[in-house]
Amino acid sequence: MRVLVTGGAGFIGSNFVRATLGRGVDVEVTVLDYLTYAGSRSSLFALEDQFKFVEGDIADADLVNHLVSEADSVVHFAAESHNDNSLADPSPFLRTNIIGTYTLLQAVRTYGVRYHHVSTDEVYGDLALDDPAKFTEYTPYNPSSPYSATKAASDMLVRAWVRSFGVRATLSNCSNNYGPYQHIEKFIPRQITNVLTGVRPKLYGAGKNVRDWIHVEDHNSALWRVLESGEIGRTYLIGSDGELDNLTVVRLILELMDKDPNEFDHVTDRAGHDLRYAIDSSMLRDEFGWQPHYTSFREGLRSTIDWYRDNRAWWENEKAAVEARYQAQKV
């Protein structure tokens, strides 16, 4: 199978490429990535001779048509992915997440190529902190931020292209990923690298917001199940029952790094901050027998901390710029 992976130099995409090349099956991988601030060839370190890398924009129709015409399937990760950045400047989110997805959909429509759309649980908005409910495949869309609104728009385009043009697409909406190669602007790696550089972790507001954590390898193992066995037109929810509030996560990071769990700062809350995400992944588990490998968040977090400690060269040069961006955004 010839797979075109968009956003393969980003966090989840690079882990997907690594996992795919390690599966021992006959797959030819091409990565299309624009290498924005969030993408890095170093995330694909030591794999270079096993796949083809194309630096380019998913909104470039000529390039996308050419690459799609040579593929059997497309797995679409490329996106602007950070909520805080979308609040500071929504425009690249509209271009990449909506126009970029549209460009890919037109190409897979033209060449009859199988397409999988990687999306987020944030399209469903948020749940109340005291509500036992979880998101299901039938939860109505209700996005809150510019980021999640553009992801919701892109999901809707995929559904329309399936129904109107017969595009062979599946969708998945996953909860918060953690693990190696995640950009240090994101919550968990930001706090780990804060501690490693002698800075106190930064918690938005009171830290009561809940996220449903899944290890990136578990997300990617689920994606392969959907790619191989998913029903065209269907949406699959991916999660591993990892609900924790942010305060608990910050304290656990400090504890696992041998620091006082109270050594963090409360900072200005994110505008429109979603309260709680929670995924009901029973459909995926029941239909495909999928199970997450990482059932202990504590152990997954411990290995993630070790990875950032052991791979300083991967993130160290970025740290000052990321924190300067947060300073400019006043968080």
243 near ligand DAU, judged by CB under 6 A: no
Residues that bind ligand NAD (CB under 6 A): 6-7, 9-13, 32-36, 38-39, 57-59, 77-81, 96, 100, 118-120, 151, 174, 176-177, 183
Q: Which helix (H) or strand (E) holds 16?
A: helix 11-21
Q: Which stretch binds ligand DAU (CB under 6 A): 93-101, 124-132, 183-191, 217-225?
A: 183-191
The item of ligand NAD, ligand DAU, none sharing an interface with residue 211, based on CB under 5 to 8 Å by kind, is ligand DAU
Residue-by-residue DSSP string for 160-226: HHHHHH---EEEEEE--EESTT--TTSHHHHHHHHHHTT---EEETTS--EEE-EEHHHHHHHHHHH
Long-range contacts of 316-325 (CB under 8 A, 24+ apart): 318/183, 318/184, 319/184, 319/193, 319/197, 322/184, 322/185, 322/190, 323/199, 325/185
CA–CA separation, 250 and 110 (whole Å): 47
Please tell me whether residue 297 binds ligand DAU under the rule CB under 6 A: no
Identify what 203 binds: ligand NAD, ligand DAU, none; CB under 5 to 8 Å per kind.
Answer: ligand DAU
122 binds ligand DAU (CB under 6 A): yes
In terms of CB distance, is 106 or 194 closer to ligand DAU? 194
117 binds ligand DAU (CB under 6 A): no
Q: Which positions are annotated as active-site residues?
A: 121-122, 147
To the nearest whole angstrom, how small is the minimum distance from the Cβ of residue 78 to ligand DAU? Answer: 12
Binding partner at 187 among ligand DAU, ligand NAD, none, C-beta below 5 to 8 Å by kind: ligand DAU
User: In whole angstroms, what is the distance from residue 20 CA to residue 3 CA?
Assistant: 10
Nearest approach, Cβ of 166 to ligand NAD (angstroms)? 24
Residues 6+ away with beta carbon under 8 Å from 63 = 32, 54, 56, 57
Determine, following the binding rule CB under 6 A, whether residue 96 of this chain makes contact with ligand DAU: no
Residue 162 has a CB neighbour count (10 Å cut-off) of 21
Nearest one of 260, 248, 147, 243 to 203, comparing CA atoms? 248
**Cα 135 from Cα 241, distance rounded (Å):** 12
Closest approach, Cβ 280 to ligand DAU, in A, equals 14
120 binds ligand DAU per the rule CB under 6 A: yes
Q: Which of 86, 96, 221, 246 binds ligand DAU (CB under 6 A)?
A: 246
Side chain identity, residue 242:
G
Over the Cα atoms of the chain, what is R_g? 19
Given candidates 18, 76, 202, 276, which one binds ligand DAU under the rule CB under 6 A? Answer: 202
Among ligand NAD, ligand DAU, none, partner that 38 touches (CB below 5 to 8 angstroms by kind): ligand NAD
Give the one entry of ligand NAD, ligand DAU, none that residue 190 binds, where binding means its C-beta sits below a cut-off of 5 to 8 angstroms depending on kind.
ligand DAU
Please give the Cα distance from 63 to 30 (Å, whole number): 13
Size of the site for ligand DAU (CB under 6 A): 19
Residue-wise over 222-252: b if at least 16 C-beta within 10 A, else e? bbbbbbeebeeeebbbbbbbbbebbbebbbb
DSSP letter (8 states) at residue 269: P
Say whether residue 251 binds ligand DAU (CB under 6 A). no
Is residue 277 part of the contact set for ligand DAU (CB under 6 A)? yes
- Of ligand NAD, ligand DAU, none, which one does residue 10 interact with (CB within 5 to 8 Å by kind)? ligand NAD
Minimum distance of ligand DAU from residue 175's CB (angstroms): 5
Which residues here bind ligand DAU, judged by CB under 6 A? 81-83, 120-122, 175-176, 186-187, 190, 202-204, 209, 211, 246, 270, 277
